[in-house]
Amino acid sequence: MDVVYPPGLSPAALDRALKAFGRVVGPDAVFATEEDRQDYSDKFAIDDAAHQPLGGVAPASAAEVQAIVRVANEHRVPIWPISRGKNLGYGATAPRLSGTVVVDMSRMKKIEVDVENGTALLEPGVGFYDLYDHLQANKIPLWLSVPGNSWGSVIGNALDRGVGYTPYGENTTKLCGMEVVLPDGDIVRTGMGALAGSPTWQLYRYGFGPAWDQMFVQSNFGIVTKAGMWLMPEPEQVRGLDVEVDRIEDLAPLIDAIGALRREGVLQQSPTIGNWLRAANIVSTRQEWTDKKGALSDDVITAIRKKFGLGWWGVSLRLYGRESVTNATFPILEQAMRALKPLSMKPTLWRRGDPIPPTQGGWMGVPMTFPMQNANWYGGRGGHIGFSPILPQSGKLALEQFRRAYARYQEFGMDPQTSFAFGERHLINVNAVLLDKDDPAFMKRVDPFLRALIADAKAHGYGEYRTHLNYMDAVAGTYDFNDHALRRLNEKVKNALDPAGILAPGKSGIWPAAYAKERGK
């Protein structure tokens, strides 16, 4: 594939920039061969030619990140930070603007855990497996909140508002205090970290005056070189229910029942309701069920559900904490679920000291990768891409949204992997649109399908919480109050902090003046 240069940068200028990056990190940590560019590209892309990285540079410290930012300013090279780059379905290692150099922080792996206070101060290269191993090796009784693909970085996941399934499942809300390199190369600590040497950096989020942590989440205003995360103390007991409900319309009462328990605080985890395909595509492939292209027929869906004992929807609900407390709340949960007349309801129980079964790890802080098996649903070159609108915790509205989306799945001949992840007051309707990259006719339908979903959601007042590089402009465009006042604010801040526009141009639909013409391309 030909090298794509960012607008306005000549091959000679780029060569000078790469040499300057090499003087910062050492020539062995600059990656700019054809093979390197392939490595940093997005394997789940709909269009393999879009979002082409120009190469990568891998710093080992915050000081090196600062030096990289200064080189980028001097040579006008756009750069794109990644922690571990496992943001699959949203762009992974690839940048929004082709020709951008990836700043790969996977070498930065320092871990400091404050056992007493239940916090960790982490560098971006620390993966969920690294932190888990550290906790295990040091016998630290703190649990992680792991996402379905735990390959990635703890900080990277929180920076794209990824979710897990425990009471600490809204990972971005567990961030506390950051160290950030700004686009001009300055370095700042947020919250109590601004008070040099403070022992409360990871304990109180706000410091004094405005609090900035979320400003560096899903933005292109800075590169996070360290962040604090709160970790959950290992509970005495985890007690729960695995519930399956039979019909599509059973989604509504299930959401209403869980939402009420969640708001009341009986249920403190972030449970996710998933459909039959979310369960079936990690243990089987499509060819085992049919060789017909297009939407799956109801007969096939019934056969899949029967084989694995699945409802249309399933959910794993868990209560965490003292034995006496979870034993007291369990009957309340059980009664609420029994009232729904579920297809099945299986109790689960784990007590401190018991081994954690591999399939239960997600609810108990153990990293996992098996859900990624879904990328193999069609066989061959697969993948998935996200469509994830935020909804109210209303069974009626969520069911209506699902029915509209399902009609689109059928219209475009796609198989629906869909789920509803509970926050405290909202639902994230995560759709992993499964890809068959070996079928060009199929791949042609993916983009219009996703654009239809975005437009349908917008028509009902719903916007996505996170999106793939391809759709950042489209999704940002749906946030349109007062003729896109939010975009104007974001870009005012962007241009003030990053006048040369070097940091992640186009991320989250935020384009610096230097690349304003690239919007929508």
DSSP β-ladder status, 187-189 and 175-181: antiparallel
Catalytic (active site) residue 23: no
Per annotation, catalytic residue among 168, 320, 465, 471: 465
Of the candidate residues 68, 94, 224, 427, the single one contacting ligand ADP (CB under 6 A): 224
| E-strand stretches of 201-342 | 223-230, 232-233, 237-245, 272-275, 313-321
**DSSP for residue 10:** -
Q: How far is CA 520 from CA 196, 240, 320, 461, in A?
A: 43, 46, 46, 22
User: Which of 96, 101, 75 lies closest to 9, judged by CA?
Assistant: 75
SS3 9: coil
Answer yes or no whether residue 83 interacts with ligand ADP by CB under 6 A: yes
| Choice from 159, 273, 315, 472 touching ligand ADP (CB under 6 A) | 159
Compute the distance between CA of residue 342 and CA of residue 335 in angstroms, rounded to an integer: 11
Smallest distance from the beta carbon of 263 to ligand ADP, in angstroms? 29
User: Least CB distance from residue 105 to ligand ADP, whole Å?
Assistant: 6
Which secondary-structure segment (H or E) carries 113?
strand 111-114
Indicate the residue among 217 and 303 with the shorter CB distance to ligand ADP. Answer: 217
**Which residue out of 189, 205, 278, 466 is catalytically annotated?**
466
- Which part of the chain contacts ligand ADP (CB under 6 A), choosing from 74-82, 312-320, 390-398, 422-430? 74-82
Q: Which two tokens stand for residue 200?
A: 């409360």
| 86 is a contact residue toward ligand ADP (CB under 6 A) | yes
Nearer Cβ to ligand ADP (162/259): 162
Q: Does 177 bind ligand ADP (CB under 6 A)?
A: no
Q: Is residue 157 involved in binding ligand ADP (CB under 6 A)?
A: yes
In the residue annotation, 129 being an active-site residue is answered as no
Decide: is 85 part of the binding site for ligand ADP (CB under 6 A): yes
Which C-beta is closer to ligand ADP: that of 152 or that of 164?
A: 152
- 81, 259, 361, 386: residue in contact with ligand ADP (rule CB under 6 A): 81
Residue 105 in contact with ligand ADP, rule: CB under 6 A: yes
Structure tokens, 178: 């950051």
Examine residue 371 and tell whether it contacts ligand ADP (CB under 6 A). no
Cβ(24)–Cβ(79) below 8 Å: no
Tokens for 513, please give them. Answer: 């003046």
Minimum distance from CB of 217 to ligand ADP (Å)? 8
Under the binding rule (CB under 6 A), the answer on residue 126 touching ligand ADP is no
Q: Is 465 a catalytic residue?
A: yes
Residue 90 buriedness (CB in 10 A; 0-12 / 13-18 / 19+): buried
Pick the binder of ligand ADP from 41, 119, 153, 429 (CB under 6 A). Answer: 153
Structure tokens at 248: 């599509």
Where does this chain touch ligand ADP (CB under 6 A) — which range of 83-91, 113-121, 231-239, 340-348?
83-91
The answer to whether 245 and 338 are in contact (CB under 8 A) is no
**Residue at shortest CB range from ligand ADP:** 156
Per DSSP, which regions of 276-397 are E strands?
A: 313-321, 344-351, 382-387, 390-392
**440 Cβ contact partners less than 8 Å away, ≥ 6 residues apart:** none
- Catalytic residue of the set 90, 320, 378, 409: 90
Q: Give 117-142 as a 3 state SS string.
A: CCEEEECCCCEHHHHHHHHHHCCCCE
As given in the structure block, the two tokens for residue 125 are 């290269």
The residue among 157 and 401 lying less far from ligand ADP, judged by its C-beta, is: 157
Asked whether position 42 contacts ligand ADP by CB under 6 A, the answer is no
**Residue 82 touches ligand ADP, criterion: CB under 6 A:** yes
Binding site for ligand ADP (CB under 6 A): 80-87, 92, 105, 124, 152-153, 156-157, 159-160, 223-224
Which residues are known catalytic residues? 90, 465-466
